[in-house]
Amino acid sequence: MTLRSALGMTLFGLAVSTAGCGDKGPPPACKAFATTIGKVEGCASFPESQRSMLKAQRERMDELMKRLESMPSDALKEVGDMCAQQDTAIREAFAKLAPDCMK
């Protein structure tokens, strides 16, 4: 799985899953995933073009995470599980490509 496809799947899942109403914020796993993307985005080991793409993806994810605040609790668990899976995939991929960026 490429970084782009992993981010795309996560963003698509967040967008589709934001219907409904509730009183919870984004799951901790989604906040952790956003932090991971921020680390990769700031990594000088990658070309500026890739970092720019990540910045745009992270900004979009930040917007979608604000919408998670209105999701029902049961849907938040599913989104949290998805974020955790994507966070793990990105961490594993970049631990090999640029371990200094994942500290």
Distances (CA, A) of 50 to 4, 15, 39, 53, 62: 10, 23, 13, 5, 18
The count of structural domains within the chain is 1
Asked if residue 55 belongs to a domain, the reply is: yes
> For position 3, what pLDDT does the model report?
58
Alpha-carbon span 36 to 56, nearest angstrom: 14
Asked if residue 51 belongs to a domain, the reply is: yes
The reported pTM is: 0.69
Taking Cα atoms as reference points, which of 42, 51, 72, 53 lies closest to residue 11?
53
Query: pLDDT, tens digit, for every residue of 29-74?
Result: 988 988 888 888 888 887 888 888 888 888 888 887 787 777 788 8
Q: In the structure, what pLDDT confidence band is assigned to residue 85 with cuts at 50, 70 and 90?
A: very high
Alpha-carbon span 70 to 64, nearest angstrom: 11
> For position 20, what pLDDT does the model report?
43
Q: In the structure, what pLDDT confidence band is assigned to residue 22 with cuts at 50, 70 and 90?
A: very low
Work out whether the CA dihedral 52, 56, 61, 63 comes out positive or negative: positive
Asked if residue 82 belongs to a domain, the reply is: yes
Asked if residue 41 belongs to a domain, the reply is: yes
Asked if residue 77 belongs to a domain, the reply is: yes
Q: Compute the mean pLDDT over every residue in the chain, rounded to the nearest whole number.
A: 76
Q: What is the mean pLDDT of residues 69-97?
A: 85
Asked if residue 58 belongs to a domain, the reply is: yes
> For position 7, what pLDDT does the model report?
59
pLDDT higher for 25 or 55? 55
CA angle 43, 45, 50 (to 5 degrees): 70
- Structural domain including 30 reads 3-15+25-97
